[in-house]
């Protein structure tokens, strides 16, 4: 299953490339990041989702079976880039999927999206949650086999393979390893299409958790 991963140099994306191997195609903005994607076992293509057109991205998607939006403006970015990346690039990828006929689409969002942002956490956080919410709303309106995954607080701890996955779960952390593994399972099983699921660490074996949403 040739899978295009937007934000291909991100920490979750590189982990996903290791799991998918040669089927993973990571989209990177910086040509210097190509080697890192290839070292993870995937293929890299240079494509700047902040400046590319829907037709240009659709051409990149040609022949793919699935797409994953794993991009983000990053913790050091300001409010403006939360909109251009976390919302704008997500909308662009979804639009390109429709043009290219790539129906399977997994969008990595965040717990907290879909609700008004906590303004006490600052303007940038509010912009981030607002952008993620808008990207989710856009995707739900498209004729795609979409899944929206909202991880909790991301950590670099080793994955445990045990999670809590559902429409609404208590706030908590989750290793990036486990997020990538859940995305891989969602793709492999064709699970949770048309659903928005939250993800944190838990006690349910990862494959069992995903199987509950497998048709």
* CB neighbours of residue 191 within 10 Å: 21
Long-range own/partner contacts, residues 170-175 (CB < 8 A, 24 or more apart): 170/200, 171/111, 171/200, 172/200, 172/201, 173/200, 173/201, 174/199, 174/200, 174/201, 175/201
Residue 200's closest CA among 128, 150, 148, 136?
150
In three state form, how does the secondary structure of 157-213 look? CCCCCEEEEECCCCCCEEEHHHHHHHHHHHHHHCCCCCEEEEEEECCEEHHHHHHCC
pLDDT of residue 215: 83
Of the listed ranges 81-85, 162-166, 184-188, the one predicted with least confidence: 81-85
Q: Is 145 helix (H, G, I), strand (E, B) or coil?
A: strand
Q: Is the dihedral of CA 82, 85, 90, 95 positive or negative?
A: positive
Instruction: State the pLDDT confidence band at 76, using cuts at 50, 70 and 90.
Output: confident
- What does the pLDDT average to over 47-69? 96
Q: Mean of the pLDDT values across residues 46-62? A: 95
In terms of CATH, what superfamily is 3-211? Answer: NAD(P)-binding Rossmann-like Domain (3.40.50.720)
Position 74 confidence tier, pLDDT thresholds 50, 70, 90: confident
Q: How confident is the model at residue 77 (pLDDT cuts 50, 70, 90)?
A: confident
């Amino acid at each position: 299953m040739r899978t295009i991963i937007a934000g291909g140099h991100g920490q979750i994306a590189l982990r996903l490339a290791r799991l998918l191997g040669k089927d993973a195609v990571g989209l990177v903005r910086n040509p210097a990041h190509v080697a890192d994607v290839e070292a993870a076992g995937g293929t890299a293509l240079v494509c700047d989702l902040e400046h590319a057109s829907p037709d240009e991205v659709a051409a990149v998607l040609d022949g793919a079976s699935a797409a994953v939006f794993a991009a983000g403006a990053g913790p050091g970015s300001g409010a403006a880039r939360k909109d251009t990346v976390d919302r704008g690039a997500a909308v662009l990828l979804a639009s390109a999927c429709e043009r290219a006929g790539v129906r399977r689409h997994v969008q990595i969002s965040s717990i907290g999206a879909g609700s008004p942002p906590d303004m006490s956490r600052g303007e940038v956080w509010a912009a981030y949650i607002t952008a993620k919410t808008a990207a989710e709303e856009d995707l739900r309106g498209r004729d795609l086999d979409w899944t929206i995954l909202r991880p909790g607080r991301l950590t670099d701890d080793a994955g445990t393979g045990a999670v809590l996955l559902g429409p609404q779960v208590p706030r908590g952390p989750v290793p990036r390893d486990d997020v990538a593994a859940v995305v891989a399972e969602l793709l492999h099983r064709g699970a949770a299409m048309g659903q928005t699921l939250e993800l944190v660490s838990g006690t349910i074996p990862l494959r069992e958790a995903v199987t509950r949403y497998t048709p």
